[in-house]
Chain A
């Protein structure tokens, strides 16, 4: 039974696409047949993060309009046989997506995939609405910062009132993913803590991704950061995928690292 997972946030720049790429790749590496769908029509980014931008021929809008079929449009990832990407159109805007069109594509994808990861655009307009409308589960990506938390709260309200599940009287399973977390800055009182955010949003915590140089490096190289298993961010995403699949894994990277003697002497 295919599961539709939406990665959403309301606010832009919090790490939705990075998370979509990481979670999608993580699921595929664990043997689940996964497709990541870029709903950000007009601001196509997922293909860059996944490093497949040079192989894009057809896109989501072509597929909806019947200009191409599923096999022509899906891009197979080079790293995993289980992973496919459905790129967004760069030359159109979000009005090119229709509810019937999206439903048709998702229904087709459901036949072959275990997980359909929908990378939502920012905002609460049409693109974001369609990305979350058919979802079974939602990962709400939030930065430890008040405006991001407020926007996530708004998004959670929409998930519980403007989605297909809510219309059928069912619930979307909600997960909180805190990204760009810096324990040092939390200790200095410059950033909201995990418990502050949990207190405001009151949904279960899927994971905390530390602020990390590895994320930017991975994005620029077109490799999902979860592949970088030496980095803290990569490991944190791996933990989050395990939790998504129902395993209990303790949260890591929540405490500031103690500075060693040498670092204290020489600065760091």
Chain B
């Protein structure tokens, strides 16, 4: 049977989409090859902000490296990174590093231009690395030296996603059905909350959701969730706070 005769809708239904995307990523720029010093210095950084480095994807830049790197050196380096919670996903550097990258099952990216910002590990709380979805213009990325709270003043529309990585999220406008709020910390909504709100998405069970009018499609704290069907039974359209008590989501009037 050829594909011409087999135009079954189910077969032709696309199973994936290719999309372009821009993510903020931590770049680890290696200057010297000194595994022991590297391990000690990395441990110090991680000590300052353990949450920030937990499962964080990093790109290892070799552009400024003035020592020769071989595969055993690279593997040692990757192991140290992974021991500290970092997840190296790619190397960046000249074409000469391609065999090395392939042996280590990493991607080789072409050298970057000089626009990477230096990130100081946050103190004492982790730093927000704002993940920009469609709200790119709604709020500019936080400058590196502010508190981790992300404040949104424009309506969050259907299809938009706002993530406050490493901190709290405050929304001073309506949150439409079909949109999604995510925060590693608390979520505050001062307009009606009609979309989804997920607080403590990286497992912080102390996170809470505060809202002026609960009309959400779904609320979740640290993975425990309730959908609108259950929410409608109590305090619907009222001002509430939602917190986790044991394994149960507790909804209380404000």
Contact = CB atoms under 8 A, between A and B. Distances in A.
A200 B156 CA distance: 11
B134 interface: yes
Given A150-B178, A200-B176, A202-B174, A157 B159 contact: yes
B159 A154 contact: yes
Interface string B124-139: 0000000000111110
A160 to B, nearest CB: 6
A248 B26 CA distance: 53
B157 interface: yes
Contact of A153 (B135, B137, B176, B192): B176
A162 B134 contact: yes
Interface string A195-215: 000011010000000000000
Contacts of B160: 157, 161
A162 B137 CA distance: 8
A169 B136 CA distance: 10
A160 B154 contact: yes
Interface in B185-207: 191-192, 194
21 contacts: A150-B176, A153-B157, A153-B176, A153-B177, A153-B178, A154-B159, A154-B178, A156-B157, A157-B135, A157-B157, A157-B158, A157-B159, A157-B176, A158-B159, A160-B138, A161-B136, A166-B137, A169-B137, A199-B192, A200-B177, A202-B174
Interface of A: 150-151, 153-154, 156-158, 160-162, 166-167, 169, 199-200, 202
Given A150-B176, A158-B159, A167-B137, 9 more contacts: A153-B157, A153-B176, A154-B157, A156-B155, A156-B157, A157-B179, A161-B137, A202-B174, A202-B191
Q: Which 7 A-B pairs have the closest CB atoms?
A: A157-B157, A166-B137, A153-B158, A154-B158, A161-B134, A154-B159, A153-B176
Interface of B: 134-138, 154-160, 173-174, 176-179, 191-192, 194
